[in-house]
Amino acid sequence: MSQYPSNSHYPIVPPTTNFRAMEENGPQIMARGKGIYQWDKAGKQYLEGMAGLWCTSLGYGNEEIAETAAEAMRTMGFAHMFSGRSHEAGIRLAEKLTEMLPMEDSRIFFGVSGSDANDTQIKLMRYYFNAIGKPEKKKIISRHLAYHGVTLASGSLTGIPVNHALFDLPLPGFLHTECPFYYRDSMDGESETDYADRVLVYLEKMIQTEGPDTIAAFIAEPIMGAGGVILPPEGYFPKLRALLDKYDIFLIDDEVICGFGRTGNAFGCETFGFRPDTMSMAKALTSAYMPLSAVAIPESMYQAMVDPCAEQGAFGHGFTYSGHPVSAAVALKVLEIYERENVFAHAAKMGAYLQQKLQHFSDHPLVGNVRGTGLIAGVHLMKDKETRTPFKPGIAGPTVIAACFENGLVLRNLGDVIAICPPLVITEPEIDELVDKLGKSLDSAQEKTGLKG
Ligand code: PLP
């Protein structure tokens, strides 16, 4: 459905896109949005079932947020936080976050994206362990299929092959352990808890082989989003937490997708019952109206860096847009709306409804597994459900997504997992519409291509 003149030169190097496929098909150009709907350039309406890139939690066209941004721009379009400078919106936002976070005593570093938040996490670990005289404690363990961003360092945390290939990633010092993918990797008859124990045995072996004194931190998304909406198996996080405590390893909680209500609680770590040492946040922090990320660290970590900063003359890390005042004002407004409108409780209620409705697809011939919690879900397409045999790569997922587009539904395929992650403000009738359109799309994908269940 290209609306870009096919004889024109498309002037963009597109992010996370198959260049050749896009040249053949052209870009899909969206023109405007309202609530949970978007309209393309030709005027066709879509239910936006992916909240953009897991981020537009309050939907599109929110006048109150637009007004807040306009006012903030009029008041002070820019102010920075270098060299002891600050501003009210940034301070109030940090205060608000530290009140909300499930951490006892924290301080906030602001950035602009999830990737830079995770870069900051890595740099803070290095700085901190150098500061406390443990310079050998530097490695970071992530998981296969994790997604933590695409900069050189956060891309090294990411465990998805396409984000590494040809970029010479991961960099040294980044390790990847088992992804806890119960549906794909469990053995016949193995319970979720037994499976969780098994993957944690592999992790413990890795820690012992590498040497616990060389490992600074373990990073995890509560639900692995871009890797295929992978939920932690029963008991995984509490046992992981205990294992990391045993070896004195930090747990970095990447809440870039789960943070701010996605799983029905404010943070994913609350849903899955674990205590983070540090946290990364972005996306729904501003409902994606403005770019903003935040890293929360414990007070003890901050205090350990004070003397070294004084010796060096400064903490040599910060972005021009760290705590941008317009983004901070927007985030404050978004957090106010979450609270005022009980958005997280609404997400929990709508989430239960969505999950229950999606379960009907378990019987669909193309579907092997339906999983999710709150307002995030994955419908995993499978050639043979019994033997968990996947389709040939690159066919089933894109075919279903193309059918969704035809039916006026925006979703995203992660390989053969159809990801569903609507704005948190979605209502029951809108969920009915989403599920109905997805059902039609699965049927037509099956008919058109002869995809076999
Ligand atoms: N962490 C997680 C869990 C993500 O899902 C993403 C992006 O989807 C990122 C980090 C990177 O965020 P950004 O794309 O804003 O750099």
Task: Say if residue 377 is in the same domain as residue 316.
Answer: no
Cβ 282 under 6 angstroms from ligand 1: yes
Sign of CA dihedral 326, 332, 336, 339: positive
Average pLDDT over residues 94-99: 98
Residue 59: both structure tokens together: 């939907």
Q: What is the pLDDT of residue 7?
A: 54
Cβ 256 under 6 angstroms from ligand 1: yes
Closest C-alpha to ligand 1, atom 5: 257
Task: Say if residue 39 is in the same domain as residue 179.
Answer: no
Predicted confidence (pLDDT) at residue 342 exceeds the cutoff of 70: yes
Q: What is the pLDDT of residue 153?
A: 98
Domain end, chosen from 289, 321, 339, is at 339
Task: Say if residue 211 is in the same domain as residue 316.
Answer: yes
Q: In angstroms, what CA-CA distances link 23 with 2, 4, 13, 252?
A: 10, 10, 11, 39
Do residues 127 and 305 lie in contact, with contact meaning Cβ atoms separated by under 8 Å?
yes
| Of residues 257, 234, 254, the one with CA closest to residue 376 | 257
Closest C-alpha to ligand 1, atom 1: 148
Do residues 432 and 415 lie in contact, with contact meaning Cβ atoms separated by under 8 Å?
no
Count how many domains the chain has: 2
User: How close is the Cα of 51 to the center of ligand 1, in Å?
Assistant: 14
Q: What is the pLDDT of residue 453?
A: 44
Best probe residue, ligand 1, of 150, 219, 257, 319 (max atoms within 8 Å of C-beta): 257
Q: What is the pLDDT of residue 452?
A: 61
Task: Report yes or no on 13 lying in a domain.
Answer: no
Task: Report yes or no on 401 lying in a domain.
Answer: yes
Give the model's confidence band at 203: pLDDT under 50 very low, under 70 low, under 90 confident, else very high: very high
Predicted confidence (pLDDT) at residue 1 exceeds the cutoff of 50: no
Q: Tens digit of pLDDT for each residue in 411-433?
A: 999 999 999 999 999 999 999 99
Best probe residue, ligand 1, of 110, 115, 327 (max atoms within 8 Å of C-beta): 115
Task: Report yes or no on 6 lying in a domain.
Answer: no
CB atoms within 10 A of CB 422: 27
Cβ 294 under 6 angstroms from ligand 1: no
The verdict on pTM exceeding 0.85 is yes
Task: Say if residue 209 is in the same domain as residue 327.
Answer: yes
Best probe residue, ligand 1, of 116, 148, 152 (max atoms within 8 Å of C-beta): 148
CATH number, domain with residue 168: 3.40.640.10
The proportion of the chain whose per-residue pLDDT surpasses 90, expressed as a percent, equals 95
Predicted confidence (pLDDT) at residue 187 exceeds the cutoff of 70: yes
Among the residue ranges 2-11, 110-119, 162-171, 408-417, the one predicted with the least confidence is 2-11
Give the model's confidence band at 8: pLDDT under 50 very low, under 70 low, under 90 confident, else very high: low
Cβ 375 under 6 angstroms from ligand 1: no
Q: Tens digit of pLDDT for each residue in 246-298?
A: 999 999 999 999 999 999 999 999 999 999 999 999 999 999 999 999 999 99
Domain end, chosen from 339, 371, 390, is at 339
User: How close is the Cα of 119 to the center of ligand 1, in Å?
Assistant: 11
Mean pLDDT, the chain, rounded, equals 96
Cβ 114 under 6 angstroms from ligand 1: yes
Task: Say if residue 319 is in the same domain as residue 346.
Answer: no
Q: What is the pLDDT of residue 294?
A: 98
Strand ranges, E, within 153-287: 174-177, 215-220, 250-254, 278-281
Cβ 159 under 6 angstroms from ligand 1: no
Angle at which helices 114-131 and 299-312 cross, to 10°: 70
Among the residue ranges 5-9, 215-219, 224-228, 369-373, the one predicted with the least confidence is 5-9
Average pLDDT over residues 90-112: 97
Coil vs helix vs strand at 139: strand
**Structural domain boundaries, residue 363:** 19-61+342-449
Residue 54 CA: nearest ligand 1 atom is 8
Task: Report yes or no on 7 lying in a domain.
Answer: no
Coil vs helix vs strand at 228: coil
CATH number, domain with residue 55: 3.90.1150.10
Q: Which residues of 178-197 are buried (b: 16+ CB within 10 A; e: fewer)?
A: bbbbbbeebeeeeebeebbe
Task: Say if residue 113 is in the same domain as residue 241.
Answer: yes
Task: Say if residue 327 is in the same domain as residue 351.
Answer: no
Beta bridge partners of 39: 32, 45
Domain end, chosen from 308, 339, 370, is at 339
Coil vs helix vs strand at 293: strand
Average pLDDT over residues 293-309: 98
Task: Report yes or no on 14 lying in a domain.
Answer: no
Task: Say if residue 213 is in the same domain as residue 106.
Answer: yes
Task: Say if residue 325 is in the same domain as residue 365.
Answer: no
Task: Report yes or no on 328 lying in a domain.
Answer: yes
Task: Say if residue 120 is in the same domain as residue 236.
Answer: yes
Cβ 149 under 6 angstroms from ligand 1: yes
Task: Report yes or no on 8 lying in a domain.
Answer: no
Cβ 258 under 6 angstroms from ligand 1: no
Torsion-angle region of residue 294: left (phi > 0), alpha (psi -120 to 50) or beta?
A: beta
Task: Say if residue 325 is in the same domain as residue 351.
Answer: no
Q: Tens digit of pLDDT for each residue in 118-168?
A: 999 999 999 999 999 999 999 999 999 999 999 999 999 999 999 999 999
Best probe residue, ligand 1, of 256, 263, 287, 327 (max atoms within 8 Å of C-beta): 256
Task: Report yes or no on 279 lying in a domain.
Answer: yes
Q: What is the pLDDT of residue 4?
A: 62
Task: Say if residue 311 is in the same domain as residue 270.
Answer: yes
Cβ 155 under 6 angstroms from ligand 1: no
Cβ 366 under 6 angstroms from ligand 1: no
